[in-house]
Every structure is written in structure tokens, then in C-alpha cells.
């Protein structure tokens, strides 16, 4: 006789009821990737009234965070923000590290705020609470002296040598308060974002790549499902702002004047080495040669341009010493700031230019292209151009910045042979602008929430239920929706849990796969394991399909295997289940090698170094039994020969292609194909460990494979699925299965 079972709700019955629910909600909050606060609150009215409201809020936010980055466009007052941040730390010794020549400008800005900032060349000449030095001098300081550090124009981290960058990160690893200030990064500028996150102690580059990015033929890119989590994470420690309205403030006074970029192409005759005809720029060597060969004509064009307009100041950007030297000889009243000048000479000459005492300043981008405020000047010329868009952008923004009152004219003087360089930089300009706008558009709401301007809330969470003839599928979080299943109403469960794989199929922290590590994954899984134990009939089984998880160099730091099978057994045993047995499912090593490209399975590795070879990864069915006596014996419809075959520790004959069609359920943002459980595996589990008419459960229903087989084999089914597209596909598949069972399940249950 088959015991009747209904879908009726008999109370939640969850261990400690509401406490367990609260525990789960708190756990979900802990899964959100964001930087926790380590600073303190600054009361209203305690910040310098000279700051605009948006600047004050950014200072409050950065102090509250303790370790943060302000990615603000030029002219938005990053210097004021960092100085007020340092002052408001009240007695904490702070070191500001800035590019060469920026220090004096920062000291002057400090005077405007009534803040004393002292220039220092080493740890032996410190004064007061706020000292400033240059990146080149950082090795002369003892970081333990400072409890706060600011990296001004911190995007310079990307251009520093790996050794210097690593030294900075290591030096201030234990510094309590850290602030980075630079212009808005592009969301795909992995180096810049990773450098900042690592310096601030937010996340390592390896962990950031593993969490949010995927590597394909075009390099690293942001995972599609990771976009919102990535922007939310970035907003928790980095404020990106191009104008005050990005954060909900008034833009009055922050409207840029026009920028006029004027390319000037000089006709050049190129004599290629060893060739009859010039066939275009081919590499760095040819670029350098063309720049050198065309220097006289380019320099003459710039000299004529400047000498005809000496009624205003000019800023000339050079890349080569011979360009700067010739310009200085040919333009009356010009001053060349060059690399072999002392730091004091550079600072004095740049200050004189800012004060209007020098009419024409000639220098290189790497000397004065970062951090300097040249709003006094609105005419500039590039005497040649490299392929670096960032260098070009930084030079432009020295003059074209908030506070500039005149249209800015930028002349790019090149030979016609160098037109591809100009086109390359302009293409990068368009791409960077689009990416920066995209970053701001995506991150704005999270930033407003961070500074308390709005309550953005969480990702949209859906719940729905569809029932059919003998089946019910619930859309939603299994940890919550399984509470609607009555105690002891499930006769058997069979499912394949999602493996830990961040942002592969969804962006929400409710997705078990979206876990930062094995500990978090199994903590999440434990809530469902608890529920499975509650709803299962005593003495009955739960069949869990698993496989071992490859360890990857970029994510785990090594290549090998992680014992997901063993960890799953431990997780179930810890929750009171009895480990009852396991079955190995045979796999085709060649098919696996083609699909995964694992070096451990390739023929080439057999000849190269067999120490890397290993067998193909099998699948496993882990069988767990709920303690207690089974009230209704299971009488499977198996022949003796079938039992002999299925009693083997290895199941052969399971076709990897024996699955339901998954293509319609796959979303455009999914990073991988859905991998539904093979129908043959599900059939064997259901026929072995359940009777006709009994209830089969899957907390990860996916596209409905377990339900399809349950209904086809004259059982009932109840399942949960988090993702809408999978849920809808599962319901269609179960509707298709209704005609295969040849009986009404509820009538059979009676």
C-alpha cells in the first residue's frame, strides 16, 4: 500500500523557527562582496566650510570606510578631499605620497584650507601631523611611523615598476587609514582597479579576477552576471564621480568649457631602410625612427604656431629631449622643464608658469602630466604623440578641468606618416569615454546608497508556484521555500547541487554557487541539508550527484583537485545524515579532454611530461539515509539482472547526452552551458529507492530533469528553482512528462 502524501503546508518546523530564518538572512548579508567599514563617523558641522557639500560627503564616507579610494575627475577637488581627510583624523600622523612637482601645489592648497602640510624627503625631517613626499623617495620612510597614508594621483601605481608597486603595497599593509585619489578608472582597466584594491587591502588581484572576471580569447573581461555585484563591490570602497550630479548634487560651477582638439599633419618624405617604398608604421622601432626623422618639420610647425600667438600662455608636450631642446631655442621666453633638473628647479619653474611669470612651458608628460593644475593656460600642443591614450588624456586634463574659464585648444602636431598613431589614440579615447560613462551609469545608485543619499535596496527576488498533475515547482530560494514542504513528506530526494562558481548563472547572493570559497559554499548548503532532513521520511534516502572540483592556478594558486565529494559527505554527516553508500559513474576521458582542454588528459602531455596526467573525473552519487525506521518498505520494480548491474560500485552505460534540452533555458548572460543531470542516472536512483506514487524532491530543480523522470516513473515531484528561465523550462518539461506516467498520481497515492 502506498502512503498518501499531499503538498499541504503544516508549519515551518525549522529547527528553532524564526531564529533559523534570521540566521539565514544574516548569512546572506555576509555573502555580499563589499568592503566593511573600519573608520569612524564624522558629525555634521565638523568639516571645513570651504568644501562643497559633495566633497564633505566624500570625506565623511572615506573616513567612515577607513580604507577607500576617491576616483574623481580633474578639478573636482581631490586635493581638498584628501587634505581634509588627513586633518579630520585628529592627531594621526599622515604621509601623502604624490608625483614629482605636485607636492608644492598640495602645500599651497593646504594653506587655503588652513591646513599645514610639510614637504619631507625622508623620515628624518618630519614636521607636524601631515607630511608630503614623492613616490621616488618612498624607500626612505618607516611606515610604522604613520597611521594614515594618502596616495595622490594613485593611478600612477599602474606605471610604476612591479618592484616599486609591490614595495608600496607591502609598506603600508598594516596602516590603519589608507586613501587613494585619482581620476575615474575604466571598468575593464583591471590593472588600475586591482592595484587599488590590493593597496587598500580590499582584495588581491587573483581573488578579484576569480570573483568577477573570466578569461577568453580577448583577454580578461567582466562576467556578465558579475556586473552588478562588481559595481556594488567597487562602490563599497571606491567612489567614481565625473561631476557632482553623479552623486545627486548640483553641477553649478562644474560645467567644462569646450575642448577643441586640432590635428596638424605635416607632409613628410620617409626613406625606409632597405626598401623602395614606405609601407606604413609596423612597430615601435619604425615609430621611433619616423618621429626622429620628421622632428624638424614638426618642431617648425609648433614654433610657427606659438610665435604667432604669444599673447597667451602655451603648454608644449614633448616626448624626446631633442624636441624640447630645439623648441626652447626657437621660442622666446620659453622654459624647458626636463628630467635632469633638480626637484626644486622643476617645482620653481612649474610654479612660475602657474603664476603667469613664464609664457611657454615645455616639458614631458611623465614630468608634469599627472596631478598638476594648469587652469592658467588654455593652449597646448603635442609635439608628436605616443600610442598611450592615458598619457594623452592626463596632459589634456591639466588645462581642461573644472575651474577653467576659457575654451581649451589642443594641437596635435604629427607627420602624415604618423596618422595611424593619432587614429589609435582617438579610438582609445572613444572607448575609454564609453566605458567610463558605463561605469558611472552602473555604479551611481550603489554610490548614492553608500553615502546615504538613497536606499537602493537589493536585487529583485521573485517567488512563484506552478502545479501540474502530480508535480509542483516553486520559484525562489530553496532555503526559504522548502519551509513550505511538510515535515516527513518526502520519500526520496535526488539532485545535483550547483558547484562553487561565482556569477556563472546569476548575480544574487541567494545562489549557492555565488560563494567566495568552500567554507561559505558549505555554510549556505547546510541550510538546505537541514531542510532536506526535516522533510524526509525517517529511514529514507537522499541521492546527491557530485564530482571533484579542479583547482585552478588563477583562482586557487595551484593546479590539482579539491575533494568536493569528501566535503559533501562531511557536510551531510555534520547535519545528522548517515552516509549510506556511493556510486561512481563512468566517464569518457576523450570527451572530457575535448570539452575541458585539461592538460591532465591530453595526448600531448603524454609525450611532454606524464607527471601531469590523471584519470578523467568521474561523477558520483552519494547516498545518505535519514536516521530512523522506514515506515513503508521500498519494493523496486527491478529484475535480478538489473540489480546485479546496478549494485556494482561503478555505473556503466550512462550516456552523457541523455539529458533534457537545456538550450531554451540558457540566458544570454550565462557564462557556461547548463549541465543537467543525465536522465539514466535519475531513473536508477528513483527506481532503486522509492515506490510508485511517492514524493520525490529536488531543491535545485534546474530545468526539471528529476521531476521529469519522477512523473514518467509514476511518482510525484516537488522542487525549487531560483532562476526564472530555468523554472519556466522545468514547468514545460514536467507538463510534457504528464502523459508518460499512464495514471493520475494523486489517485495512485490514495
Q: Please, which residues bridge with residue 69 across strands? A: 180, 238
Confidence label for 462 from pLDDT (cuts 50, 70 and 90): confident
Q: Show the domains of the chain with their CATH numbers.
A: 53-247 (3.40.50.10810), 259-449 (3.40.50.300), 464-749 (3.40.50.150)
Q: Which pLDDT score is estimated for 656? A: 86
Considering the chain, what percentage of its residues have pLDDT values greater than 90?
Answer: 57
CA distance 484 to 55: 50
* Between residues 601 and 625, the one the model is more confident about: 625
Q: Which pLDDT score is estimated for 749? A: 38
Q: Is 70 exceeded by the pLDDT of residue 690? A: yes
Residue of 98, 139, 149 lying closest to 370 (CA atoms): 98
DSSP per position, 612-673: G--PPPPEEEEEEE-SS--SS-------HHHHHHHTSSEE----TT-S---GGG--TT-SS-
Residue 171, helix vs strand vs coil: helix
* Pairing outcome for strands 118-119 and 130-134: parallel
* Between residues 723 and 554, the one the model is more confident about: 723
Identify the helix (H) or strand (E) that includes residue 258: none
- pLDDT, tens digit (0-9, with 9 covering 90-100), for 300-348: 999 999 999 888 999 999 999 999 999 999 999 899 999 999 888 998 9
Q: Which pLDDT score is estimated for 443? A: 84
Q: Please, which residues bridge with residue 551 across strands? A: 560
Q: Please, which residues bridge with residue 408 across strands? A: 259
Identify the helix (H) or strand (E) that includes residue 718: strand 716-721
Here the cell at position 425 is: 589614440
Q: Which pLDDT score is estimated for 613? A: 83
Tell me how far apart the 2 most distant CA atoms of the chain are, in Å: 107
CA distance 710 to 494: 10
CA distance 172 to 66: 13
Q: Which pLDDT score is estimated for 164? A: 81
Confidence label for 663 from pLDDT (cuts 50, 70 and 90): low
Q: Which pLDDT score is estimated for 750? A: 34
* Pairing outcome for strands 716-721 and 471-475: parallel
Q: Please, which residues bridge with residue 410 across strands? A: 261, 380
Confidence label for 744 from pLDDT (cuts 50, 70 and 90): very low
Q: Is 90 exceeded by the pLDDT of residue 469? A: yes
* Residue position matching grid coordinates 518546523: 13
Q: Tell me the Cα Rg of the chain.
A: 33
Q: Is 70 exceeded by the pLDDT of residue 209? A: yes
Q: Which pLDDT score is estimated for 2? A: 33
CA distance 722 to 726: 8
Identify the helix (H) or strand (E) that includes residue 605: helix 603-608
Q: Which pLDDT score is estimated for 454? A: 53
Here the cell at position 118 is: 610639510
Average pLDDT over residues 449-471: 77
CB 249 within 8 A of CB 54: yes
Q: Which pLDDT score is estimated for 271? A: 58
Considering the chain, what percentage of its residues have pLDDT values greater than 70?
Answer: 90
Mean pLDDT, the chain, rounded, equals 87
**The whole model's pTM is what?**
0.76
Here the cell at position 355 is: 603664476
Confidence label for 6 from pLDDT (cuts 50, 70 and 90): very low
H helix intervals, 466-588: 478-481, 518-535, 553-556, 564-574
CA distance 402 to 459: 36
Q: Which pLDDT score is estimated for 13? A: 37
In terms of average pLDDT, the best of 135-139, 425-429, 449-453, 470-474 is 470-474
- pLDDT, tens digit (0-9, with 9 covering 90-100), for 695-720: 999 999 999 999 999 999 999 999 99
* Pairing outcome for strands 464-468 and 471-475: antiparallel
Q: Please, which residues bridge with residue 362 across strands? A: 316, 336
Residue of 558, 303, 516, 504 lying closest to 413 (CA atoms): 303
CA distance 461 to 723: 10
Q: Which pLDDT score is estimated for 219? A: 78
Q: Which pLDDT score is estimated for 746? A: 41
Amino acid at each position: 500500500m502506498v502512503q498518501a502524501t499531499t503538498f499541504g503546508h503544516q508549519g515551518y518546523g525549522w529547527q528553532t523557527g524564526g531564529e533559523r530564518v534570521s540566521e539565514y538572512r544574516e548569512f546572506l548579508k555576509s555573502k555580499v562582496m563589499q568592503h566593511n567599514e573600519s573608520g569612524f563617523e564624522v558629525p555634521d558641522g565638523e568639516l571645513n566650510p570651504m568644501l562643497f557639500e559633495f566633497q564633505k560627503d566624500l570625506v565623511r564616507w572615506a573616513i567612515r570606510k577607513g580604507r577607500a579610494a576617491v576616483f574623481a575627475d580633474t578639478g573636482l577637488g581631490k586635493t581638498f578631499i584628501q587634505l581634509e581627510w588627513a586633518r579630520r583624523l585628529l592627531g594621526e600622523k599622515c604621509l601623502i605620497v604624490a608625483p614629482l612637482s605636485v607636492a608644492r601645489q598640495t602645500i599651497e592648497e593646504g594653506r587655503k584650507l588652513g591646513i599645514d602640510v610639510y614637504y619631507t624627503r625622508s623620515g628624518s625631517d618630519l614636521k607636524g601631523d601631515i607630511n608630503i613626499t614623492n613616490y621616488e623617495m618612498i624607500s626612505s620612510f618607516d611606515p610604522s611611523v604613520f597611521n594614515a597614508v594618502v596616495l595622490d594621483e594613485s593611478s600612477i601605481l599602474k606605471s610604476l615598476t612591479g618592484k616599486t608597486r609591490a614595495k608600496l603595497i607591502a609598506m603600508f599593509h598594516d596602516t590603519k587609514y589608507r586613501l587613494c585619489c585619482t581620476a575615474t578608472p575604466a571598468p575593464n582597466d583591471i590593472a588600475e582597479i586591482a592595484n587599488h584594491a590590493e593597496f587598500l587591502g580590499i582584495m588581491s588581484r587573483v581573488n578579484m579576477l576569480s570573483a568577477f572576471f573570466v578569461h577568453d580569447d580577448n583577454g580578461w573581461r567582466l562576467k556578465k552576471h558579475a556586473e552588478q555585484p562588481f559595481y556594488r563591490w567597487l562602490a563599497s570602497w571606491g567612489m567614481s564621480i565625473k561631476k557632482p550630479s553623479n552623486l545627486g548634487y548640483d553641477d553649478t560651477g562644474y560645467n567644462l568649457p569646450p575642448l577643441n582638439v586640432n590635428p596638424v599633419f605635416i607632409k613628410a618624405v620617409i626613406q625606409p631602410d632597405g626598401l623602395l617604398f614606405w609601407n606604413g608604421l609596423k612597430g615601435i622601432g619604425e615609430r621611433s625612427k619616423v618621429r626622429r626623422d620628421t622632428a624638424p618639420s614638426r618642431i617648425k610647425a609648433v614654433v610657427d604656431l606659438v610665435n604667432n600667438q604669444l599673447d597667451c600662455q602655451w603648454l608644449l608636450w614633448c616626448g624626446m629631449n631633442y624636441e624640447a631642446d630645439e623648441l626652447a631655442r626657437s621660442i622666446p621666453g620659453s622654459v624647458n622643464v626636463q628630467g635632469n633638473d633638480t626637484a626644486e628647479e622643476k617645482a620653481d619653474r612649474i610654479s612660475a608658469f602657474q603664476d603667469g611669470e613664464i609664457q611657454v612651458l615645455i616639458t614631458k608628460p611623465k614630468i608634469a602630466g599627472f596631478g598638476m593644475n594648469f587652469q592658467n593656460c588654455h593652449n597646448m600642443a603635442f609635439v608628436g604623440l605616443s600610442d598611450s591614450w592615458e598619457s594623452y588624456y592626463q596632459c589634456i586634463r591639466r588645462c581642461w578641468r573644472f575651474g577653467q574659464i576659457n575654451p581649451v585648444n589642443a594641437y596635435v602636431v604629427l607627420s602624415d606618416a604618423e596618422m595611424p598613431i593619432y587614429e589609435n589614440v582617438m579610438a582609445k579615447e572613444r572607448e575609454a569615454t564609453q566605458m567610463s560613462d558605463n561605469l558611472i551609469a552602473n555604479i551611481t545608485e550603489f554610490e548614492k546608497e553608500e553615502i546615504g543619499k538613497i536606499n537602493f535596496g537589493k536585487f529583485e527576488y521573485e517567488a512563484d508556484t506552478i502545479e501540474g498533475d502530480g508535480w509542483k515547482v516553486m520559484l525562489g530560494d530553496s532555503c526559504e521555500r522548502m519551509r513550505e514542504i511538510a515535515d516527513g513528506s518526502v520519500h526520496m530526494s535526488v539532485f545535483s547541487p550547483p558547484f562553487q562558481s561565482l556569477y556563472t548563472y546569476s548575480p544574487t547572493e541567494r545562489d549557492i554557487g555565488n560563494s567566495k570559497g568552500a567554507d561559505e559554499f558549505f555554510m549556505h548548503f547546510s541550510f538546505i541539508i537541514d531542510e532536506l532532513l526535516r522533510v524526509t521520511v525517517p529511514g529514507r534516502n537522499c541521492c546527491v550527484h557530485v564530482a571533484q572540483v579542479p583547482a585552478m592556478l588563477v583562482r586557487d594558486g595551484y593546479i590539482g583537485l579539491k575533494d568536493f565529494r569528501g566535503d559533501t559527505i562531511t557536510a551531510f554527516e555534520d547535519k545528522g545524515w548517515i552516509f549510506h553508500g556511493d556510486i561512481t559513474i563512468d566517464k569518457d576521458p576523450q570527451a572530457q579532454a575535448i570539452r575541458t582542454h585539461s592538460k591532465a588528459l591530453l595526448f600531448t602531455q603524454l609525450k611532454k611530461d606524464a607527471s601531469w596526467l590523471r584519470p578523467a573525473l568521474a561523477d558520483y552519487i552519494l547516498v545518505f539515509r535519514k536516521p530512523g525506521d522506514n515506515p513503508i518498505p521500498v519494493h523496486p520494480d527491478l529484475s535480478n539482472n538489473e540489480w546485479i548491474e546496478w549494485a556494482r560500485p561503478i555505473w556503466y552505460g550512462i550516456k552523457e547526452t541523455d539529458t533534457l534540452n537545456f538550450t531554451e533555458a540558457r540566458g544570454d548572460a550565462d557564462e557556461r552551458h547548463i549541465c543537467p543531470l543525465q536522465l539514466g542516472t535519475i531513473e536508477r536512483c528513483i527506481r532503486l529507492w522509492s515506490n510508485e506514487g511517492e514524493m520525490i524532491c529536488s531543491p535545485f530543480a534546474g530545468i526539471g530533469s528529476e521531476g521529469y523522470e519522477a512523473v514518467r516513473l509514476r511518482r510525484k515531484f516537488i522542487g525549487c528553482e531560483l532562476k526564472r528561465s530555468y523554472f519556466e523550462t522545468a514547468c514545460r518539461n514536467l507538463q510534457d512528462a504528464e502523459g508518460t506516467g499512464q495514471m493520475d498520481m494523486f489517485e495512485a497515492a490514495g
